Amino acid sequence: MEIGDWRFGEYRQSTPGWWQRLTVADGLLLLIGIAAAILRLTNLSSLPLSPTEAEAALGVWQLWQPGVTAVSIHSPAYFTLTALLTQILGDGDAIMRLVPALFGVGIVFLPWLLRKRLGQIGMLVTSLLLAVSPLGTAAARTASGDSMALFALLLLFAAWLRYEDSTGAVGTETGDTRWLYVAMSALALGLTSSHLFYGGLITLLLAWRWNLSFEPSLFGLYDETWPRWEVWRKTAVFGLIVFLALASMFLWNLPGLGGAAALLGDWLRAFTLRGSAVQDWLNPFLTLARYETVLATAGLLAVFWALWQNKAMATFSLLWMALLLPLLLLQRYDAGNVLLLTLPGYLLLGVLAETAVSDLHDWLSWLFTVGLLLMFALIFVNVARFARVVLYDVQNLDNVWLALFAFAFTAVTVYFLWTWDERAAYQGIVIATLAFFVFYQWGNAWWLGHLAANDVRERWVTTPATDDDVPMLIATIHQISNQATGDDFGVEIFSSVDTPVLRWYLRQFPNLHIGQAIPTSAQAGIIITPDAANPILGSDYFGTDFGLLRSGVQPESVTNLTPMIDTLRWWLFRESRAQIAEERVVLWVRADLIRS
């Protein structure tokens, strides 16, 4: 039957646009992403590059300099993407950290791909925990490939699950192969980013194989979801192309292939049996407790809950965490492995939050949650006050007693409410604990990422670190050069100190000479020597010293009289009796330049 040009039965309902499919959860995820961007992208150049960062950045800069045949490549993917970016945005400190920071923001959005497995609440909580992760923030603000490796690992995991979810749902035998292409791209990115990816990949594969023996399993059966050989071949070729592009800059820089192969060697060298002291074995777990506090506290609650419940994502996350623990011990001097533990840990907390919040509608649950938050705040404030006044009034324990009373009152209240309404007590404990530690970790992430990335008193910071005096040193050199020659880079410089930091920050001076010793007839406008040196110079020079590197903590400044109080004061107020050991240099300026 026809009426004009219309045919009954041929009408199809139009597919809604992407803006029509947006939900409140998507809007909240965007806000979380903005918070992550604030943590990771603001003031990227606030702290000077560390020696390791400076070496990586110097390799990127040297690639575009004429006459340079060999460059240092620590992370081929970082090298390729940053080298391309510098041709557009320049080569400052912030640009050298921009690529890892962007991947650090991107990882916050990846749980959106797992929303069907995690649930809307679980997806948001996982993203929020990734956003305020102190270690994730610090890694994202570091010129290295660690942040990219974490992104690649989570993307690989999410893409495979999305492929399995699409199996049999799109009218094909193997499912939506686009997710396999995404997975292969993630694999290529991980293999060219950081040695951490190997530890995450191997434990992920072992957890996948182990999880198949559980019921219900997070993954589908081999016969039902495994792609055909033709599909594997096409996606493998695509992954190889991406690998070559990232490793060698589209075959422009072939030594990058060797850098990608060296990542496996770096991972294998991290295994060690040296260091039998208890402190060495506890170091990874102390790092976890110091920075990822929510994982060390609420994570334990989630572990016991996962053992009791029988949920696929929770079981898999628990297995992945169990496999990462031996890796932390066998590579205990590689603190980066703690980063890997955050992925399954926050996925597990996301599942826990989904079960706790999904049916939150009882007024008693909300009332108990608010009450717990107030008690947590009361305990926290009194512990902080005690740590503040104990050095001046040792006998004053009022705040300790008040904190203990609040803790006992909270424990008794939880016990009675649990016997009365188990569901309300469970929801209140989970929500209040997560909310409190998310607030705490935001401050911790800002501190570690923006202010303390070069403070060697922090457990995460590797030595040597670059001293805060370096920007002042470089600014002084620029000022003297401008006054003497009319050009910020015109002065002649001779340095007997050879470090990646000085090479990076003095890279634009064409008259820079670096050697092991200073000639007795040296007439350079500026001479840089170690502070312990007593050079014999051919002209009159004026000198002043600057801090260059932070090599550690002075042993004599460390006291063990009140270790718990000292730790609390450092965690809460960033106050420490430990003195930083510095490597200083002397900046010698020829007298006639100063007079001019």
Summarised one tens digit per residue, pLDDT across range 509-520 is: 999 999 887 877
- Is the pLDDT at 10 greater than 70? The verdict is no
Residues across the chain: 596
3-state secondary structure 400-412: HHHHHHHHHHHHH
- What whole-number distance in Å separates Cα of residue 352 and Cα of residue 347? 9
| Distance from the Cα of residue 153 to its chain's centroid | 13
Can you give the pLDDT at residue 424? 87
Find the DSSP H helices in 278-362: 278-291, 293-308, 312-330, 337-357
pLDDT digit string, tens, across residues 225-281: 677 788 889 999 999 999 999 999 988 889 899 999 999 999 999 998 776 677 888
**pTM across the whole model:** 0.92
Strand 541-553, strand 580-590: pairing: antiparallel
Quote the radius of gyration of the chain (alpha carbons, Å).
28
Cβ-proximal residues to 501 (8 Å cutoff; 6+ apart), any chain: 48, 49, 50, 51, 54, 466, 470, 548, 549
- Is the pLDDT at 463 greater than 90? The verdict is no
The residue type of 66 is: P
- Is the pLDDT at 1 greater than 60? The verdict is no
pLDDT digit string, tens, across residues 170-201: 444 566 889 999 999 999 999 999 999 999 99
Inter-axis angle of helices 146-166 and 196-211, nearest 10: 30
> Which tokens go with 244?
């070559």
Can you give the pLDDT at residue 13? 52
- What whole-number distance in Å separates Cα of residue 438 and Cα of residue 432? 10
| Distance from the Cα of residue 247 to its chain's centroid | 22
Can you give the pLDDT at residue 99? 97
> Which tokens go with 402?
């008040």
Which candidate, 585, 567, 584, places its Cα nearest to that of 576? 567
Which candidate, 567, 345, 307, 541, places its Cα nearest to that of 437? 345
> Which tokens go with 113?
């791909």
- Is the pLDDT at 317 greater than 80? The verdict is yes
Contact criterion met (CB below 8 Å) for 148 and 78 = yes
Q: Which residues pair with 544 in a beta bridge?
A: 587
Can you give the pLDDT at residue 8? 45
> Which tokens go with 382?
């009194």
Sequence spans of domains, the chain? 24-356, 362-442, 465-595
Find the DSSP H helices in 71-221: 76-89, 93-96, 98-109, 115-131, 134-140, 146-166, 178-191, 196-211
Query: ω into residue 216 within 30 of 0, thus cis?
Result: yes
- What whole-number distance in Å separates Cα of residue 40 and Cα of residue 36? 6
Which candidate, 448, 454, 453, places its Cα nearest to that of 466? 454
Across 407-425, average pLDDT: 90
- Is the pLDDT at 560 greater than 80? The verdict is no
Can you give the pLDDT at residue 223? 56
- What whole-number distance in Å separates Cα of residue 65 and Cα of residue 510? 12
Task: Give the helix, strand, coil percentages of the chain, each rounded to 5.
Answer: 60, 5, 30
Per DSSP, 183 falls in state H
The residue type of 16 is: P
| CB-count exposure of residue 87 (10 Å: 0-12, 13-18, 19+) | exposed
